[in-house]
A and B are shown apart, each in its own frame.
Chain A
Amino acid sequence: MIRIEPRQSSSRLMTLGIPVLSAFVALALAALPLAFAGANVTTAYQEMFKGVFGSTFAFTEMLTRATPLIFTGLAAALAFRAKLWNIGAEGQLYLGAMAAVAIGAGAIDAPSFVLIPLIVLFGCAAGAVGMAVPTVLKSRFGADEVVTTLLLNFVILIFLQMMLEGPLKDPMGLGWPQSPPILDQGMLPPLMDRMRVHSGLIIALVCAGVAQFMLARSVWGFKLRAVGENAAAAKHAGIRVNRSLMSVAIVSGALAGMAGVSEVAGLKGYLTADLSPGFGYTGIVVAMLAGLSPVGVVMSAVFIASVFVGADSMSRAMGVSSYLADLVVSMSLLCVLIGGFFARYRIALVKTPKGEQA
């Protein structure tokens, strides 16, 4: 007979080791469909590795891809720590991007040191509003934020399309549904010559560091953790739960909005309706892989960006589909979830004594 028993304690090695192990297991499992597609597995993985670490360009491309994932990962991680299920980072990202082009594409002409902070401020504010609304609905009327934030993504996406066909449409854009470009002095400066990696990455890393510090060391972080771990006890202890939730909603939404700002003002320059290939949703995976730790978010964002960029490059070299990247990412999430189960429980074999009858 097999029995599942809770473990007495989870070791530190386990909490750190399981995400790493899960990542490797997922990569190993991805060898099956690779082989099935007729590719040489070793070569494929070599190509994948080269696609990330093979050149400075490859490496910076990976970092460029990781930047929005750090923002959306942080947005999910902080909200989830308070058990506020923000599934709407995708929509908040677009709100941030829209605010960025509304401010930065000619509405205000100012030098960089004024314009860039303004763009960031408005982008973050727009994202924050995007998360504040469902949080008010939750605390006032008990509306489930999983549903409201998820559905708002589609509302915002349709709103975006309307704006790109209307007020935000570029008159010089030859009829394409895209916004006018952000002024040169409004763009986040690049980090290296001829590379796409930009200073949004620095902002992302600073955000992660600050989030880690605030979570562990500040009264705000204390309250957030208390509300997330046991809202009833937090309330009993005099912590204003709704206020705490609202503050984390604003920070989470602002981080997601910042992802949009960083993409549009750091990378693309103008806004289209396909700015994000689901960064908002991938951010949830990033946060889960990171065990909701802000510093962990940086590492898991780098891992997931590597898988995506590496798989792109592998698919070009080998002629297999780059959807393999999605497969690896989703399998690593599954592995982490299963691994998390084994960190908390163990399987015990129970011998049934023979020869005893009732």
Chain B
Amino acid sequence: MNGLTKRFGSVVANNAVDLTLHRGEVLALLGENGAGKTTLMNMLFGHYMPDEGTVDVADDAGALHPLMLGHPQAALAAGIGMVHQHFTLAENLNALDNIVLGSEPLRMLKRDRVGARAKIARIMEHTGLQAQLDVPVGKMSVGERQRVEILKALYRDVRILVLDEPTAVLTPQEADTLFDSIVAMTREGLSVIFISHKLREVLAFSHRIAVLRHGEKVGEIATDEADERVIARMMVGADTPETPRSELPPGAPVLQLKNLSVAGRSKRDSLEDVTLTVHQHEILGIAGVSGNGQSALAGVISGLNQPTGGTLTVDETAIANPTPRKMIHAGVGRIPEDRHHDGIVGAMSVAENMVIERLDEPGVQANGLLKRDAIRANADRLAADYDVRGPGVTARARLLSGGNIQKLILARVFEQNPKLILANQPTRGLDMGAAAEVARRLLEARTRGAGIVLISEDLDEVLSLADRIMVIHDGALIEANSRDREHIGLMMAGELT
């Protein structure tokens, strides 16, 4: 890829990026959110048309040919396959149909399923990627879906495979298995580019690392010569500050769940007989693979879900039928998982979003009318204190970047000095700077005396922040007695209790 540039309006998403991928190589593409990784890959795959630059792809003989850009078909024909972060499988079809879908001509009357099956079996044998071909994708675990996605790409005889954050939804063990397969495939001559946030897996499995920052390639390094500090410095352009944490004895309990159950529509949003206690000065980390009941747990603590059994006690007061309102009044600060969907009203102003949880208070309204000056002053102060950057506090909240939206929510939550904080995936999708800010604020609240429930799929985050760790699997919570990542990983997979 030579000098690829892509602009969206006045924003330069990629600026003159050069990238070389060798046969049989695993190249890790790193960068903060918004650094332009996905844009770059989308240009390679033909989803976006670059404003400048060219891509050359080698054929089987090794001769380079220019690739026609802006056409996914051309990319496919040149042997480039992409597995997106969000799966693109048809849930009602089985794995075999999904794999074959799109690569067989529509006008063919009889479908050659026997041949297809044999070819897939061959690929599975070679790579160690296993999937049940006759099971509908909708019934599969995320790990298996991911394997189907990759098989789908391999079925089309790709020589270059692009994986966009492939391990975001996998347990550590599943991720390791996936990378073992990838290493096996590269021995057959496949080249892989994978986008990731997780430095650990990048260091463990790639041959070479390229780092993007603000749309430009700022560094390239052989993995043998890299360590986490070097890469982190390349990504943010500076050393990330270590978050200081002090030893604090836990205080009185602020949240108690006793034998709490939630009957959701499916297993993934149900809880079974959950008991936990969070004390003052304590961060309770909830580790687990996505879809194991985290949303039900967060739903109950934020007041969105009604428990079907058991008791919920906040700060010594039992709360019978939790609603968001009751929880807010009880002193619970909530950082929702999906900050765009549940955290802000994007069409309303930053200032309005900062007071949306306390519309009843005299500081915000008098006699049912909004105190606009007070709301404005509050927003100016919070935006300065929490470093919320954007087009201004009167602008629509959706114009803020993801990190700044999270800072807005942090400002709203922490300003109320909550006794209990629910932080559900608080750093998901954030760049390192914003993520470090979230961690710092959580630790600060812990020092002040708040109890914190930290739900995260990022085990490293749980390990670095939590005083105590519980693992959620199939709607049940188990205390982790060890901080060993291997041990917790097995618990996340439900293999240890």
Contact = CB atoms under 8 A, between A and B. Distances in A.
Interface in A208-263: 217-220, 222-223, 225-226, 229-230, 232-240
A352 interface: yes
A218 B68 CA distance: 56
Contact of B348 (A220, A229, A350, A353): A229
A230 B370 contact: no
Contact of A219 (B73, B334, B345, B365): B365
A226 B334 CA distance: 18
A358 B365 contact: no
A233 B356 CA distance: 9
B74 A358 contact: yes
Interface stretch (B268-276, B322-330, B484-492): B322-330
B343 A233 contact: yes
B356 A237 contact: yes
Contacts of A240: 323, 325
Given A222-B359, A222-B370, A233 B345 contact: yes
Contacts of B344: 230, 233
B345 A230 contact: yes
A209 to B, nearest CB: 15
A229 B70 CA distance: 35
A12 to B, nearest CB: 13
B369 interface: yes
A356 interface: yes
Nearest to B334: A236
A217 B343 CA distance: 22
B346 A353 contact: no
Given A222-B359, A356-B68, A236 B342 contact: yes
B78 A229 contact: no
Residue of B49, B67, B69, B302 with most partner-chain A CB within 10 A: B49
Given A8-B9, A218-B369, A219-B365, A236 B348 contact: no
A357 interface: yes
B67 A358 contact: yes
B32 interface: no
Interface string B456-489: 0000000000000000000000000000000000
A225 B302 CA distance: 22
B227 to A, nearest CB: 40
Interface in B23-73: 49, 65-71, 73
B345 A234 contact: yes
A226 B66 CA distance: 51
A123 to B, nearest CB: 25
Contacts of A234: 345, 356
Contacts of A356: 66-69
Contacts of A8: 8-10
A79 B365 CA distance: 23
Interface bracket on B: 35 or more
A251 to B, nearest CB: 14
Given A219-B369, A230-B341, A358-B71, A225 B325 contact: no
A232 B69 contact: no
B348 A223 contact: no
B370 A238 contact: no
Contacts of A353: 68-69
A239 B49 contact: no
B77 interface: yes
Contact of B370 (A219, A236, A239): A219
Contacts of A358: 65, 67-68, 71, 73-75, 77-78
B370 A217 contact: yes
A9 B398 CA distance: 12
A217 B359 CA distance: 12
A226 B356 contact: yes
B157 interface: no
Contacts of A226: 345, 348, 352, 356
A355 to B, nearest CB: 9
Contacts of A239: 356, 359
A352 B73 CA distance: 14
A233 B341 contact: yes
Given A8-B9, A219-B370, A358-B77, 17 more contacts: A8-B8, A218-B370, A219-B359, A219-B364, A220-B368, A226-B352, A229-B345, A229-B347, A230-B344, A233-B341, A233-B345, A234-B345, A236-B304, A236-B343, A237-B356, A238-B303, A352-B70
Interface of B: 8-10, 49, 65-71, 73-75, 77-78, 302-304, 323-325, 327-328, 334, 336, 341-348, 352, 356-357, 359, 364-365, 368-370, 372
8 contacts: A8-B10, A218-B369, A222-B356, A225-B345, A233-B345, A235-B324, A238-B328, A356-B68
Interface of A: 1, 8, 217-220, 222-223, 225-226, 229-230, 232-240, 350, 352-353, 356-358
